[in-house]
Amino acid sequence: MEDNYGVLITNPPYGIRIASDQEVDILSRNLGAKMKELPTWSSYVISSDEEFERKYGRKADRKRKLYNGRIKVDYYQFYGPRPDKEE
């Protein structure tokens, strides 16, 4: 099995308590660009930005609505491919 598979789980700033909306937009775009460089990785992101998928550059494979305190957020799940099983 190759060692290039991985998982990223993150809850980046929303622009509400920490960082500005512009900084959050840049972070979302940079995160999406970095994950494009890692096509065998899966990523799981919690964000309150309803435009997150557009900024990230990919539609989530699965999305769930949640609350983080009183803040409505979405849990975006972007699946990478499964590693080949060793025989």
Tokens of 34: 């970095």
**Predicted confidence (pLDDT) per residue in 27-78, tens digit:** 999 999 999 999 999 999 999 999 999 999 999 999 999 998 899 999 999 9
Pair of tokens at residue 41: 């990785």
3-state secondary structure of 68: strand
pTM: 0.86
Residue 16 pLDDT exceeds 50? yes
Backbone conformation region of residue 44, classed left if phi is above 0, alpha if psi is from -120 to 50, else beta: beta
Please give the pLDDT value at position 46.
96
Domain span at residue 28?
6-78
Is residue 10 within 8 Å of 45, Cβ to Cβ? yes
CA pair distance 81, 31, nearest whole angstrom: 18
Is 32 part of any domain? yes
Output the domain CATH number for residue 23: 3.40.50.150
Given this model, what pLDDT does residue 81 score?
93
Examine residue 84 and state whether it is found in any structural domain, yes or no.
no
Domain count, the chain: 1
